[in-house]
Structure 1
């Protein structure tokens, strides 16, 4: 599959680059791969992984593209599938820079990066679809599944309400935990009495009603097509809708958010990139500080 128009355009990005030149013999798959690797090397981070968004388990397991490669050809789907967790304040890997193997001659589908395993996924709830976030009874049913998951964790985690919106409002601005709790409770009261979500953007003079509108708008942005999950050590978070029990949550150096990986079948040394995640308590470098202080060994992840 060859797309010369893509190949020619890549060679024009940001002026002349010695390793980024038009290659009309390359397929679209090869061009996307080369461009993403080079952008990663130039920026010294792995934030391209923020834009990885798989539609299904089948797409993760049998994709025509490597799973670590965003499907740039359908970038318009991001507004439908998920909003990237790209708040500039997130620094899950601290001040580390990406440590990757970059060679245009290496196998096309493999990207190798350094980091460490943060945790393993213990339990996941059903995904929060747009329909779930429109109809109150479906959302309340999912809240019950979250409560069931939390009941299996000791000690019971806090900050649930804050975690569900990745501590951000709908405009990507940090919001406080108290506001999240207030908004979550106001939303549940609204759903129990009226049965459906408040109308987005509706202004309210009453503070309680205002929280009840602002919180669901943040939910729709950050929770849509993601799952709530717990980990084996008792952390909580939200991750891609295709994640499942026993997936790994890792910190990759140069990534602003944790990344969910899955071991590739029949290849124990190779992983599939499921997507990015928000994990309560680790988004601002705290886990990285603990990792350094403990002297834990780093790992190398081969992502296909």
Structure 2
């Protein structure tokens, strides 16, 4: 290594990119680098792969000199060469001088053009492992079999043979499941690489399939009742911090977004940023720069790419820069993004830490807590102003109620409840404790207050559409009884449920899972109940900000007139906008300074 002649990059400007051709992979990879104006590039292919934490242990000879790359990329280039031969290529580790922060800052804004202009984008999932050859070779045939099944929701471990599908013990199911759990699906930068690509192929080992085959299988498989059983039976980690996202979730969403871009439809940038928070990146600033190419131009133009050591160390300034632009664009609803599973102490309470996934699922935009019908068209982002002073927001709204008592919701046990009686017992105990609080508030005139049934799922189905009253009552009754049954016997030891009952249980359970995640059940000073972020405490204020679709929780900072933001909340009786209107917001409005 000491005698290596390191490749010396010729400087390029913000209107030029590098491409290269692989000359040979016989003993080691040898390539030639070319410079091209970005508005006049020849046909080329791009590679999407995992950077990870691998040491740059392999060398590539570029024009006779050495560039060091990871072993995973080295293997990917060898497989790519078999697919495309001497075709021009773009790969970030070679085409961008990784030791030059100024060049990276100039090239990152070009990503939207680089991937959009590529003739093909190849995804490198990695070398053969976990029976991946079997998975890749069977994708097309499984998709063909799935395509003739009338009701995919009826497919489960016991009915596979009747649909001419491999039996539950067949190695294809764990093989293909693990394929979709590869690290590539967790990487943040892949979002823009996939969304902007014209034509995509997926490589694993020496096999290749089209992106559409991956999409079809993910869409089919996740509709069946197979996924949870395969994960459980084969002990495939599901809630792994190192694998925060997986292909069965990411691939269908990315493909929907691809279709929207192709049709010229506008993509909700909040949805993009929430998806990015479930991904992994090497540096905190890349949480912003990694999605820059797919953000609207009016937001993209407000963010300056800066890879200087100071900005990388003080990355929170980039987070504030992005979120300030988002608030100016989206108004109060942007604040649904604030809860974070971890938090940098330098961030103000109203700014999310983009390093971490949102710790609370958004309550959605279908409520209208602070939008009065008479002037809803006029309500907008002006209800929130940046400042006064650095790190502050001024929010205009009305104090509606206060938090009286809280009880943590047992969200971690919902998925495992049907397999583990102890987990089922935790869910049952939690629900019964919340029911006791509800009865204290609403009395015992009915066995289960409808306010309780509704609040447990924030009045919404898993798709965040309104739950009808008749259906929510029936689903609650069935779901709570099933959880009690699981305390005595796991689901795989019980008799087969009717399809309608299973769908009803899954519907309410899924809505519970979304609502309970990192949340507390609470009672209020004025005698109602709600669900809010797990950080809320007795004494917190429940406020409705003009134009916000849900109430917010504020906590007054000690010794001053400012507040800390503790997320949005579902508060029974405050959601439809009528309570806000009844408070006469014109007379009772006040400014909350949130830091």
Distance 1:137 1:6, change over 3 A: closer
CA drift of 1:184 comes to 1.5
Aligned to 1:299: 590
Distance 1:11 1:303, change over 3 A: farther
* Matched pairs, number: 287
Helix, strand or coil at the partner of 1:159: helix
CA drift of 1:284 comes to 2.2
Aligned to 2:348: 66
Distance 1:166 1:18, change over 3 A: closer
CA distance in 1, matches of 2:470, 2:287: 51
Q: Does 1:194 align with 2:476?
A: no
User: Which structure has the larger Rg over C-alpha atoms?
Assistant: 2
Q: Does 1:29 align with 2:311?
A: no
Aligned to 1:242: 535
CA distance in 2, matches of 1:208, 1:291: 43
CA distance in 1, matches of 2:505, 2:458: 17
CA contact (8 A) 1:97 1:254 kept: yes
CA distance in 1, matches of 2:460, 2:329: 29
Partner of residue 286 from structure 1, selected from 569, 575, 578? 578
Distance 1:204 1:6, change over 3 A: same
Aligned to 2:338: 52
CA distance in 1, matches of 2:592, 2:512: 32
So what's the TM-score if we normalise by structure 2?
0.44
Helix, strand or coil at the partner of 2:549: coil
Aligned to 1:213: 506
Greater relative contact order (CA < 8 Å, ≥ 6 in sequence): 1
CA contact (8 A) 1:129 1:224 kept: yes
1:2-21 matches, within 5 Å, as 3=285, 6=288, 13-15=295-297, 20-21=302-303
CA drift of 1:197 comes to 8.1
Q: 1:217-243: CA deviations, max 9, x gaps?
A: 111112222111111111211101111
CA distance in 2, matches of 1:224, 1:279: 16
1:103-252 matches, within 5 Å, as 107-131=389-413, 134=417, 135-153=423-441, 158-195=450-487, 205=498, 207-252=500-545
Aligned to 2:369: 92
* Gap runs ≥5 in structure 1: none
CA distance in 1, matches of 2:286, 2:425: 50
CA drift of 1:39 comes to 2.3
CA contact (8 A) 1:8 1:23 kept: no
Distance 1:137 1:11, change over 3 A: closer
Q: Does 1:82 align with 2:366?
A: no
Pairwise CA RMSD: 3.2
- Between 108-117 and 129-138, the greater mean CA deviation after superposition: 129-138
* Gap runs ≥5 in structure 2: 1-282, 418-422
CA contact (8 A) 1:8 1:22 kept: no
CA distance in 2, matches of 1:209, 1:13: 40
CA distance in 1, matches of 2:284, 2:466: 43
Partner of residue 40 from structure 1, selected from 319, 327, 331? 327
Distance 1:214 1:6, change over 3 A: closer
Partner of residue 277 from structure 1, selected from 541, 550, 569? 569
CA distance in 2, matches of 1:221, 1:4: 28
Distance 1:111 1:23, change over 3 A: farther
Helix, strand or coil at the partner of 2:592: strand
CA drift of 1:208 comes to 4.3
CA contact (8 A) 2:385 2:393 kept: yes
Structure holding more helix per residue: 2
Distance 1:116 1:179, change over 3 A: same
Helix, strand or coil at the partner of 2:471: helix
CA distance in 2, matches of 1:2, 1:49: 20
- Between 123-132 and 248-257, the greater mean CA deviation after superposition: 123-132
CA distance in 1, matches of 2:441, 2:486: 32
CA contact (8 A) 1:121 1:248 kept: yes
CA distance in 2, matches of 1:109, 1:198: 51
